[in-house]
Amino acid sequence: MSKLSPTISLARQLIDIDSVTPDDKGCQEIIIQRLEALGFDIERLRYGEVDNLWAKRGREKPLFVFAGHTDVVPSGPLENWHTPPFETTLIDGILYGRGAADMKGSLAAMITACERFIEKHPRHTGAIGFLITSDEEGPAIDGTVKVVDYLTHNNEHIDMCLVGEPSCTSELGDTIKNGRRGSLGAVLTVHGTQGHVAYPHLADNPVHLAVPALTELIRTEWDRGNEFFPPTSFQISNIHSGTGATNVIPGDIEVVFNFRFSTELNQEKITSRVKKILNSYFLDYDIEWTLSGHPFLTGKGELVDAAVASIKDITGLKTELSTAGGTSDGRFIAPTGSQVIELGPLNATIHKVNECVAVKHLDDLTLIYEKILQKLLTGTK
């Protein structure tokens, strides 16, 4: 332990805690101790079963915030791991453990970056904040979204936010996520009339009724994307129907599907077009929609420029801006008008058994974070 950097030592301390969502299990208290020593004002915000942390140092503008989560997904079968998921193991420069990449490593890098930055620039301009939740991997209803509501109610506006989600593909710094697609899900139930398969004239098979409409939904070009987003995608994730018997025509079919949509569309346009298609087949149906997040985009500007330049300074790489991938808690912060990017380690092993991160990547990541702080809050390039 004595030979490891402060970033790796802190990452190990956090990874060793089995903070499976939504249980923080004391991770935030470790972070609070480090931030209080730096002069941060601390607010513990608990909603339901979820622990959240809002910490801030300074009162001037701009307010730059590190955002992240202490919760992790379950480990899965322990026998599939070659090392214990909640006992951090270091092998050949690789740190293994649940949350190593997603995203306790990033949290450690953020904190040690702040420690070095504040030691060098105790009277920096602007303010630094931390928004940490234990509800990112779960339903995400009592976490960041609630903290953002709290901040809005208290007239606290985040100018720039860096979310430490694992963003990179092959090399540290090769990708920054400067936006995300929106996510709109639906559960469609098409009603028919149950009956015996030998007497189809006495029944009305909802599977047969639904297939032509589903085929049109699959074949529809929803948009062509734009400079920053790929075309909107429609994917069926589950279909359920029938009693399990081979001689019974089902009475209903349930279809679960999802849109990942670009800034070319919105919820209203999508639901209207789906309704028009379904109605054209004269179906008897019910549909329930769930919006997980609107698409957002942070174009080139102060935050993106600082991150791109900092990556170049530390790694020598020319980074790529991307909006690919799933959703993140950035979807709750961006609608307030904040500039939001995601920058963290490689995402190759997240949510997998034997999740891991390279020690060098975390040590370089904290230097990148420190450079970003320097460029944004000291005026030094």
How far apart are the C-alpha atoms of 108 and 70, rounded to whole Å? Answer: 11
Helix (H) or strand (E) holding 279: helix 267-280
- Strand residue runs (E) in the chain: 41-47, 50-57, 63-69, 89-91, 94-96, 127-133, 160-163, 175-177, 179-180, 182-191, 195-196, 233-241, 248-249, 252-261, 285-293, 296-297, 320-322, 339-342, 356-358
Phi, psi of 209, deg, nearest 5: -65, -40
Q: Return the structure tokens found at 224.
A: 């062509």
Tell me which residue of 177, 31, 174 sits closest to 112, measured CA to CA: 31
DSSP for 66-126, please give it: EEEE--B-----GGG-SS-TTS-EEETTEEESTTIIIIIHHHHHHHHHHHHHHHH-TT-SS
How many whole angstroms from its chain centre is CA 134?
A: 12
Q: Is the dihedral of CA 47, 50, 55, 59 positive or negative?
A: negative
Catalytic residue among 71, 115, 137, 165: 71
Q: Is 165 in the active site?
A: no
Q: Is 201 left (phi over 0), alpha (psi -120 to 50) or beta?
A: alpha
Catalytic residue among 24, 51, 135, 136: 136
Cis (ω within 30 of 0) for the bond into 160? no
Q: Is 364 in the active site?
A: no
How far apart are the C-alpha atoms of 54 and 161, rounded to whole Å? Answer: 13
Query: Are the C-beta atoms of residues 72 and 102 closer than 8 Å to each other?
Result: yes
* Catalytic annotation, residues: 71, 136
